[in-house]
Amino acid sequence: MEKDDSVFQIGVGINTPWFVGQTMNGLLDRFSEERMIDTPVSENGVMGIAVGAAATGSRPIVTFPRMDFMHYAMDQLVNHAAFFNYTLGGNLPIPLTIRAMINRGGEQASQHSQALQSVFMHIPGLKVVMPSDPYDAKGMLLAAIEDNNPVLFIDDRWLYAEEEEVPADYFTSPLEGAKRLEEGKDVSLVASSYMVKEAKEAYAELKKKNISVELIDLRSISPLDTETIALSVRKTGRLVIVDGGWKTGGISAEIAAVISADCHSDLKKPVIRLGLPDLPAPAAKTLESVYYPNSSTVISAVQHMI
């Protein structure tokens, strides 16, 4: 925002710390209400305003403190933000960042828990990224703002306590491409966002049991870097995919389909997919504990495969 005056932020609750998990602290004082616009509760209207501002030379960041409320904004996000440039023959770029927070757990139930990355990866014209560490959280957010397309940047509040040394200066990290976090030979394990944290724990446990896991952080959901996954599967012959969203029709289904086609003769075992059961999130903590996959779920799946 310091670097480029055309950047401004807009969204329901962005100047309210408990809405946005303290991530906007100090910005209102630095940039004033003119560039930190905390709006009426009008998600579709606000998304449309961001689209119109982007179409006319601004670089807005529109934030949804809870991803669940994005359903209201689907028309402007899909029909307008994502489709405009293609439908108008490449004549109307929409340099727009949409920041969506996954805020779940704590018995918040179905409408305060959703992780909708798979819904949005289905939409052509949208880039969808999900950082798993502080470095990418900063670098990919800045890259999204610089990008001349609508970029949906999804951050999971279960990652907000993560710590890592990050350069204080301005830098970007690429919006495309998966990252191999650990090299291994027995099983390829693919995860994104918060599930990378659980997968790292699984990796460490499995290492103690002499199971060598190759861990891949997807980083970008759309475009999806299936080439990096395929390279790994050609080596290991085994693939476990873990996603923080619903299983049916989701990221894991897409990856499994691509890998089944591209690495058919390399696969020693059927692909295993882990994700949420096809149910809205329950409230009771006893139900939450079986609803969300975690490192133990991952460990069991990998051991089952070996």
Partner 1 sequence: MEEKLSITALNILETMLRIRIFEQELAEITPNKEFNCPVHLYVGQEAIASSVCENLTDQDYVFSTHRSHGHYIAKGGNLNRLMAEIFCRETGCSGGHGGSMHITDKSVGFIASSAIVAGTIPVAVGAALTAKRADNSQISVAFFGDGATDEGVFWESINIAALYELPILFVCENNLFSTHLPVSKRQANQDIGEKVSTFGYKVIKADGNDALEVYSKAKTAIEGIRRTHKPAFLEAMTFRWLAHVGPTEDLDIGYRRKKDVEYWRGRCPIKLINNQLIDTNKKNKDRIQEIEKKIKVEVADSIEFARTSALPSADRISHGLYN
Nearest approach, Cβ of 13 to partner 1 (angstroms)? 15
Q: Does 56 bind partner 1 (CB under 8 A)?
A: yes
Closer CB to partner 1, residue 75 or residue 183? 75
Site residues for partner 1, window 7-26 (CB under 8 A)? 8
Nearest to 70 by CA among 11, 142, 147: 11
Closer CB to partner 1, residue 125 or residue 280? 125
Nearest approach, Cβ of 47 to partner 1 (angstroms)? 7
Active-site residue, 264 included: no
Q: Does 92 bind partner 1 (CB under 8 A)?
A: yes
Interface with partner 1 (CB under 8 A), residue from 13, 61, 67, 80: 80
Catalytic residue (choose from 112, 122, 146, 201): 112
Q: Does 177 bind partner 1 (CB under 8 A)?
A: no
Nearest approach, Cβ of 230 to partner 1 (angstroms)? 22
Active-site residue, 43 included: yes
Closer CB to partner 1, residue 48 or residue 139? 48
Nearest approach, Cβ of 82 to partner 1 (angstroms)? 9
Report how far residue 92's alpha carbon sits from residue 149's, in angstroms, rounded to the nearest whole number.
10
Interface with partner 1 (CB under 8 A), residue from 14, 46, 181, 281: 46
Interface with partner 1 (CB under 8 A), residue from 127, 179, 197, 219: 127
Interface with partner 1 (CB under 8 A), residue from 16, 22, 106, 124: 124
Report how far residue 168's alpha carbon sits from residue 241's, in angstroms, rounded to the nearest whole number.
33
Sign of CA dihedral 266, 269, 274, 279: positive
Interface with partner 1 (CB under 8 A), residue from 32, 91, 210, 265: 91
Nearest approach, Cβ of 121 to partner 1 (angstroms)? 14
Q: Catalytic site residues? A: 43, 112
| Interface positions with partner 1 (CB under 8 A) | 8, 34, 37, 39-40, 42, 44-58, 60, 75-76, 79-80, 84-93, 124-125, 127, 148-149
